[in-house]
Chain A
Amino acid sequence: MNPLTTAVSAPFFADAAEGVRQFFFRLGDEFYQSLVESNRYLYLVTGLWNTLVITLFAVLIGVLLGTLVALVKVAHANNPGRLKFWNGLCTLYLTVIRGTPVVVQLMIMYYIILGSTGLSDITTAIFAFGINSGAYVAEVIRSGIQSIDRGQVEAGRSLGLSQRTTMVKIVFPQALKNVLPAIGNEFIALLKETSVAGYIGIQDLTKGGDTIRSITYQPYTPLFMTALVYLVIVIALSALLTRFERRLHRSDNR
């Protein structure tokens, strides 16, 4: 009889079972230490709040800024003589913002541009992410405006409406309807991009999870929990968007 076989079989499986038992036991332990002990889950709650605040206000700034930039670019494209300076400025803005990483923009905003103004970290982040998002929103809205049939403008102008009124009352409402889904996607992308806010010391959701990890030296629970929270929010937002799109579509076919 081979002594080796007997040595492996029974005790090996016993060991494995014990290992699995201990794994789950440790997992529960780790879960307790990461989230429950000393109310550490509050890091995630505060972080989530900050992430949402930054995202929401950054989106508002982004949409506002993006709309303005898009209008300047379209007005210039329609009539190359006009708004030369502003068009140049907008092109510079789009090139620089889309050509550099958002983390670098965030740090420049924090340490150089708004560093000495005494604005709160969160406000600084809102500006940085808002200005970043504006560049992407601008391109989305511009393509939306340019997707509207030329005949719409001609019909408006032939009725004696000015360029501006035609834009505001005829082109823009139709363009906005077309680009709303894309703006929603930008909202989702921005939510995830704010995870680098920790670079300037903001306790956002990601930083919150990482803080727990550094206290407990246990990576699994806090990081997976962080990922899960992002995932749940994004899935919820996507579902909302889909419903919204379907509603817009229904009004098309009335």
Chain B
Amino acid sequence: MITVKNLHKSFHTLNGDIHVLKGIDQTIRRGEKVVIVGPSGSGKSTFLRCLNLLEQPTEGEVWFEGKQMNKPGCDVDALRRKMGMVFQHFNLFPHLTIRQNITLAPVSLRLKTQGRADEQAMALLRRIGLADRADAYPGQLSGGQKQRVAIVRALAMEPDVMLFDEPTSALDPEMVGEVLAVMKELAEEGMTMVVVTHEMAFAREVATRVLFMADGRIAEEAPPEEFFDHPKNPRLRDFLSKVL
């Protein structure tokens, strides 16, 4: 479903170029739940953001559903409609109500009428138990509620894959659970997911495959049992000893 070939990404800064991704080859198949872990600065988020071209790769290819995205003339907007993304800082639209946050994209893109989109938004909100907050503004919600709304906002586009960029890192500890619960539910329904996170328990429980990124490369990848119980790479062993 998603294939990246020899992916490189450098950032230009005043202190010279920083080489963040140093050649990544990956294929993510339909139905997989891929969890990416690793120390900060290892390029996890950059890798994820290259998948829907929020970051433009410096080198290499990104393919999604049979089309190369980072090629001139590719309709990136059309492909992004099928890739939901959830951000660390929620990025809800503060000037719109919760319901409008969810219906904005489907209605603006003429995929649904306002009426149909409203019905769908309410159904999604009922699912996460926030139907009574449909007419509230994001500023009135807690962090956990905001992130759950951000998830269903992406779901309203009926995506084929969901990308999660550290969805619980900006939350107070007591709100992490409610967001992970929604994500687990989504996984059980068979959604293809790519998740960057520091929640090792979530990775162990939900992932079909765990990737360990270090220094711009994928240093190890394995099913969760093997990944956590029999890590081979010494850097991964070191990392796990610190976080577990």
Q: Give bound CA distance, A252 to B94, whole Å.
A: 8
Beta-carbon contact of B139 and A151 below 8 Å? no
Q: Give bound CA distance, A213 to B222, whole Å.
A: 91
Q: Which of B104-157 contact A (CB under 8 A)?
A: 104-105, 108-109, 136-137, 139-140, 150, 153-154, 157
B residues apposed to A, CB below 8 Å: 52, 54, 77-85, 87, 89, 91-95, 104-105, 108-109, 136-137, 139-140, 150, 153-154, 157
Q: Give bound CA distance, A151 to B146, whole Å.
A: 14
Given known contacts A158-B54, A177-B95, is B89 in contact with A151 (CB within 8 Å)? yes
Rounded to whole Å, the gap between the CB of A153 and the closest CB of chain B is 9
Beta-carbon contact of B93 and A155 below 8 Å? yes
Chain B residues within 8 Å of A177, by CB: 95
Partner of A151, one of B52, B83, B91, B108: B91
Q: Give bound CA distance, A18 to B230, whole Å.
A: 109
Type the 1/0 row for A240-254, where 1 means its CB is closer than 8 Å to any CB of B: 000000000001111
Given known contacts A165-B108, A174-B95, is B137 in contact with A158 (CB within 8 Å)? no
Beta-carbon contact of A154 and B139 below 8 Å? no
Rounded to whole Å, the gap between the CB of B161 and the closest CB of chain A is 12
**Interface of chain A, main secondary structure:** helix
Chain A residues within 8 Å of B150, by CB: 155
- A–B pairs, 9, beta carbons within 8 Å: A151-B87, A152-B93, A157-B80, A159-B81, A159-B84, A169-B104, A173-B95, A174-B93, A252-B139
Beta-carbon contact of B108 and A161 below 8 Å? yes
Rounded to whole Å, the gap between the CB of B138 and the closest CB of chain A is 10
Q: Which 6 A-B pairs have the closest CB atoms?
A: A160-B81, A155-B91, A159-B105, A158-B85, A151-B91, A160-B80
Partner of A160, one of B54, B89, B105, B153: B105
Beta-carbon contact of A160 and B87 below 8 Å? no
A162 within 8 A of B: yes
